[in-house]
Structure 1
Amino acid sequence: MKILCVSDQIDPLIYSNTIKDRFSDIDLVLSAGDLPLDYLEFIVTTLNKPVLFVFGNHNLKELPYYRPSFEDRFRIHSPQEERDALTSGAIHVGSKVHKEGNLIIMGLGGSLRYNNGPNQFTNKQMNYEICKLIPRLLFNRLFHGRFLDILLTHAPPLGIHDKEDPCHRGFKAFLWFMRMFKPRYLIHGHIHLYDLQDVRTTIYHDTQVINAYSHYVIETGANP
């Protein structure tokens, strides 16, 4: 199975009329955040493959329709406006566990809190987001023989591909999650790669951590 991972940058190799030729063998697309929904809509309609996504800490115009706060529920007045925001064709998996074919995918969007902006979380809050999903993970373990296959995030784990500045520091919560639930992959964005020598993949215990910046293709081999 081939998975196209995208995040953070509109890639001219993807946003072009050659996308079908270049990525004709792709089975699934995963977006790790900070991309406009019309870009994801282009990928959905052109490749005609499932696109799953989480929101990052930028490009959040449509976030209130997918993850409304208490205040957002009062600000969204137009049903048509809401329908328009939800018709990209991409599937939001933020703070959800989703089964796509034989793959079990869990999404955790947002970044570590650094200026109290939207979709930013403290480590304690991210622990809470994870704990809400543990019953579904236990169900998966019981009925599918594993908790999950892929954890799709925006931010990286603490100490893996992250940076020292507060904006780009990773979540400590993702470290214990990988040790406990053993996803095959953790796919993240948020950390821009400007040098071909920058590290893009790292093994942590049983998990391959991958930075999806711009685009990256992974081949999972046999389906789980």
Structure 2
Amino acid sequence: MFRIICILIGYIIGCFQTAYILGRALQKIDIRNFGSGNAGTTNVIRVMGWKAGVITFIGDLLKGIIVVMLCKLIFPNNPLALLYGGIAAVIGHNWPVFLNFRGGKGIATTMGILLSFDYKIGLICIGIMILIIGITRFVSLGSIIMAIAIPILFSIFWKGNYEILLLGIFLMISALVRHRTNIKRLLTGEETKLGHRSNKQVEEK
């Protein structure tokens, strides 16, 4: 029963799209129709600038934190409840029912979930992502490697809890699925680096 309740809470809150709301409020645009077509931090930076991008990141990060904290209040001492709520928030962010299931890629929300669930895992994942982005300037590559690290870290810090490991694998798969076009572009050398400004109509799906 706790799984269903946390999934419902997480999905509803996850559907709150910071990038979409900022695009409408600041420039009267649907951010999903510009740049990469993604309702997330990186695309907001490219289309609307760093200030809007930072606000988007904070909003999506807090979304993950809020979901985990709510699930913790309702189901204290139940780590599975936190993860089910968190995963549902990522699903809501990526596929929001109120926006025809076109959302973001869930990385900032995933960071918030990890920090709230187990801060050690969260800090390590964020450190990995920052390092990769700092070296390569590819946000997508940093996101992909961070996602791959999640189940590995879960298996280390939550050794023996196979349901938590499976949920970590689900988080990884979700991120990889949402980054499948980025993976193709990375392999072909066509991926855009951080800092490239774009106000063009959608360049990719």
TM-score (norm. length: structure 1)? 0.28
**Could you state the TM-score of these two structures normalised by the residue count of structure 2?**
0.29
Whichever structure has more strand as a proportion of its residues is: 1
More helix by share: 2
